[in-house]
Structure 1
Amino acid sequence: MKILVIRFSSMGDIIYTTPVVRCIKKQVPNAEVHFLTKPAFKYIYDNNPYVDKLLLLKATLTETIDEIKAERYDCIVDLHNNLRTAIIKLRTGIPSSTYKKQPIKKWLSLKFKLKLIAPTHLVDRYLVAAKPLGVVNDGQPIDYYVKAEHQLSKLLPPSHQKRYTAFIIGATHFTKRMPNEKIISLCRELKIPIVLLGGNDVKANGDVIATALGDVVYNACGITSLDESVFLVSKAESIIGFDTGLTHIAEAFNRPIVSVWGGTVPELLGVQPYMVKDVLVAGIDLNCRPCSKFGLEKCPLGHFKCMNDMPLDGIIDFVNK
């Protein structure tokens, strides 16, 4: 049986498709599994043994549809459910099953702070779309495969090569990130060296934090590639991270994780840490939270209490234990 699974974006959402792909490949007899995504997210499925072929969204949807038709699939599992995937399913005529996003319930939950969405993980929500194939959850973590053989001695100073906590300080939007001063206060209480991870957009933040704390902190933001950052996460003694792709990727390695949430909440989108044995989800209850599904460039009320007022003792105890 030849099956096409579709999810175009984003990093975190695609990460959570990996258990679905694995379950289809292992549970559907003689399954040939292909995956379609945007070129920017190709790296997530590089080296993944459960995907027989990776298709990349082309410049025009017509080109992509022509490629899909040429493959002669028996079934499409649509894990994105947007206009483009609707057009693909319509124009190819291939039998399909589709992930249900529940946009109205999500909007009402966000707008009126109602709890209309069950705190079911996104993986399980996706698996409903694969259920017609006879697929069930195998209870295993997400999959991510580091692309190259890296060495700690080439990525970190000697002081950080034996033990360290990886602190992922990057996130796309401001309301997902802790202020520098809060991170400094947290790191000051941690017992082992700290490696800061993130892109060029938070390199300056990392410099401020490292300057305040001295040699105990190594700022790798904007220095390491994504693959190197994933490798460093996989070797960390523990991980602290915000609502961002690298934090979700970290779940593949079953390290103790502190998942820190500001203006967004994991329950709404179903992206709380998945199949991690030792995890702390940190966030505080406020009438204004969540203020958005995906994060904002500033606090709508100006006080940013969700991060500024977050207690640190629980995080410190979790990491230091």
Structure 2
Amino acid sequence: MQRILCLHFSGSPNAIEGVRKIRAIQAAHPNAEIHVYSSIEFPDVFSLVVDRALIYFEKPKGISFDVVYDLSPDSTTFWTKLTIGSWPKPWTEMSSIDFIKEVPAFDLAAKGITGKYIVYALEGDLVTQVLDYPNMVRLMDKLDIPIVLIGNSWDENFGYRLNKIFPEKVHNLCKFYTHTEMAAIMRDAEFIISHDSPMLEIAQILGKKTFAIFGASTTQLPASDTLTILENKELGCRPCASKLLNYCPVDHFQCMKDIDLSPIIHASKTL
């Protein structure tokens, strides 16, 4: 059997793009065994399309590969390319296959959630990519239907507090679910609220109406019928640095503090 190694050393917001590229490689090599060597912290994103046992976070040893494809050639260091054992070929083609159709159903009723609901995907790589907490509280207060919070263990800090403030309306499902399970939760939501994270790309692949909140970072994604970009365009300091930081370098964080969230509130009132 042919063995193919895929390199992915780009940041987590590009994880779903990597998944779509792996899908395209699978379509081009249907009988091959696909392995992934990655720096990303979310192996469950790649396990949507590759057996988890074939995902590595250190250079795979004792395995020979027939071909190596680089999914993020601009991010893979020369040293990694040199030591991998076979010079990688760049791969840019992305699959149009909707892998989310393979996601199993998620029983929200068992969590006490029935009827219509909104999903707020709290996840973000850095503090400066996540809405400030006072605005989170104000937003939860204004939304009129149940809100399901999803995210990782770090987001649990917000999820716990928001649930305590709004116990009847805000359901905290952070920390315990993989990206696959979170995708299943998102699939039946009325709409999605997201930061700059892999969850934004998953929401778009699902075709869900999404409100994407951008603070320190900016996006190349165009607004569309399913995507509304919320950002403070009045600031000359955005994006705040060539390499995003975990704090506001000018110490005001106005990109998130002064952001207009009224489109989300209006959308909830029309459901």
State the AA in 1 paired with 2:70.
V
Cα distance in 2 for residues equivalent to 1:217 and 1:273 = 30
Query: 2:204 — aligned with what?
Result: 251
Query: 1:195 — aligned with what?
Result: 148
Question: Cα offset for 1:290?
Answer: 0.5
Q: Deviations over 1:202-225 (max 9, x none)?
A: 333233333433412222233x32
Could you state the TM-score of these two structures normalised by the residue count of structure 1?
Answer: 0.69
Query: 2:89 — aligned with what?
Result: 97
Q: Deviations over 1:130-156 (max 9, x none)?
A: 4xxxxx55555675853x5531122x2
State the AA in 2 paired with 1:246.
M
Query: 2:108 — aligned with what?
Result: 152
**How many residues of Structure 1 are paired with residues of Structure 2 in the alignment?**
264
Summarize the Cα distance change of 1:237–1:183 in structure 2 as closer, same or farther, 3 Å threshold: same
Q: Deviations over 1:27-48 (max 9, x none)?
A: x376636232248543223252
CA contact (8 A) 1:46 1:145 kept: no
State the AA in 2 paired with 1:301.
V
Cα distance in 1 for residues equivalent to 2:57 and 2:205 = 26
Summarize the Cα distance change of 1:202–1:22 in structure 2 as closer, same or farther, 3 Å threshold: closer
Query: 1:7 — aligned with what?
Result: 8
Cα distance in 2 for residues equivalent to 1:35 and 1:293 = 32
Task: Select the residue among 74, 77, 80 that pairs with 2:70.
Answer: 77
Question: Cα offset for 1:179?
Answer: 1.7
Summarize the Cα distance change of 1:74–1:207 in structure 2 as closer, same or farther, 3 Å threshold: closer
1:201 is paired with a residue of what secondary structure?
A: coil
CA contact (8 A) 2:130 2:215 kept: yes
1:287 equivalenced with 2:243 (yes/no) = no
Q: Deviations over 1:172-195 (max 9, x none)?
A: 321111122212222233232111
Summarize the Cα distance change of 1:2–1:143 in structure 2 as closer, same or farther, 3 Å threshold: farther
Query: 1:116 — aligned with what?
Result: none
State the AA in 1 paired with 2:69.
I
CA contact (8 A) 2:37 2:55 kept: yes
Query: 1:46 — aligned with what?
Result: 47
Cα distance in 1 for residues equivalent to 2:154 and 2:68 = 40
Cα distance in 2 for residues equivalent to 1:280 and 1:256 = 8
Aligned pairs for 1:1-321 within 5 A = 3-8=4-9, 10-26=11-27, 28=28, 32=32, 34-38=34-38, 40-48=41-49, 54-58=54-58, 61=59, 64=60, 66-67=62-63, 70-71=64-65, 73-74=66-67, 76-79=69-72, 80-88=75-83, 91-92=85-86, 94=87, 96-98=88-90, 129-130=91-92, 139=96, 145-146=102-103, 149-154=105-110, 156-157=111-112, 160-222=113-175, 224-226=176-178, 227-267=180-220, 272=221, 278-285=226-233, 286-292=235-241, 295-321=244-270
Which structure has the larger Rg over C-alpha atoms?
Answer: 1
1:266 is paired with a residue of what secondary structure?
A: coil
CA contact (8 A) 1:78 1:85 kept: no
CA contact (8 A) 1:12 1:245 kept: yes
CA contact (8 A) 1:9 1:37 kept: no
Question: Cα offset for 1:161?
Answer: 1.7
Question: Unaligned stretches of 5+ in structure 2?
Answer: none
Summarize the Cα distance change of 1:255–1:235 in structure 2 as closer, same or farther, 3 Å threshold: same
Summarize the Cα distance change of 1:318–1:295 in structure 2 as closer, same or farther, 3 Å threshold: farther
Would you tell me which structure has more helix in proportion to its own residues?
A: 1
Cα distance in 2 for residues equivalent to 1:199 and 1:57 = 19
CA contact (8 A) 1:18 1:143 kept: no
State the AA in 2 paired with 1:309.
D
Summarize the Cα distance change of 1:66–1:6 in structure 2 as closer, same or farther, 3 Å threshold: same
Q: CA RMSD in A?
A: 3.3
User: Kindly, what percent of the aligned residue pairs are identical?
Assistant: 20
Could you state the TM-score of these two structures normalised by the residue count of structure 2?
Answer: 0.80
CA contact (8 A) 2:122 2:130 kept: yes
State the AA in 2 paired with 1:36.
V
